[in-house]
Chain A
């Protein structure tokens, strides 16, 4: 069974940092691009970043470029999102998802709240 189990998240002040993790199991992690998708409260979905099979290519939506870093550890079957210089508008539920562009499997989501 494919599972994506997320951890991290919580409350952080504007300008602060946070790291999200996503532990994958039930499939060959190294065969798939991976992504982070977020959803602000009561709003739609936004594809934030994706990373290729070996972590050598990363793509970001303009609103997070230079502040967020997506990475993966294939030895640990894990995906990460390092979020720096957080802004109030980054408040959202963050989902990890299997795939670079099409998402058959999703994590359970983790809430990130940026507030003073």
Chain B
């Protein structure tokens, strides 16, 4: 089973700042990595699929990069509504595992 490790566990930033979230896989997942955002009491929302493709209706301030085992989600300039928990997920090998999450909180 592929293990995804996200860092940091918590990221404290202010609106307008740039956020960089990392996801490392225990083995290569090619480009088959996605990112989800989850707010309290809500279902997750797909932000990025296959490393760098934004899902529909996702603002351009969200971008993804990486390949193989190291991936990054970047939010260029944080808006108040961006603060949430973010999960990476691989769809390279079953079971399609998720990372443990990074909580992005307001500083």
Contact of A47 with B43 at beta-carbon distance under 8 Å, contacts A101-B91, A102-B49, A102-B91 already known: no
Please count the residue pairs between chain A and chain B whose beta carbons lie under 8 angstroms apart in the complex: 43
Chain B residues in 8 Å Cβ range of A47: 89, 95-98
- Contact (Cβ within 8 A) B99 A106: no
18 A-B residue pairs with Cβ-Cβ distance under 8 Å, sorted by A, are A44-B98, A45-B36, A45-B87, A47-B96, A47-B97, A47-B98, A59-B94, A59-B95, A61-B95, A62-B95, A95-B43, A95-B44, A101-B32, A102-B34, A102-B91, A104-B46, A106-B43, A109-B43
Residue A46 interfacial (CB < 8 Å): yes
Chain A residues in 8 Å Cβ range of B98: 44-47
A64–B69 CA distance with the chains assembled, in angstroms: 27
Give chain A's interface residue range (CB within 8 Å of chain B). Answer: 10 to 19
- Contact (Cβ within 8 A) A104 B101: no
B31 to chain A, nearest CB (A): 12
Interface residues of B in 6-23 (CB under 8 A from A): none
- Contact (Cβ within 8 A) B97 A107: no
Chain B residues in 8 Å Cβ range of A59: 94-95
Residue B106 interfacial (CB < 8 Å): no
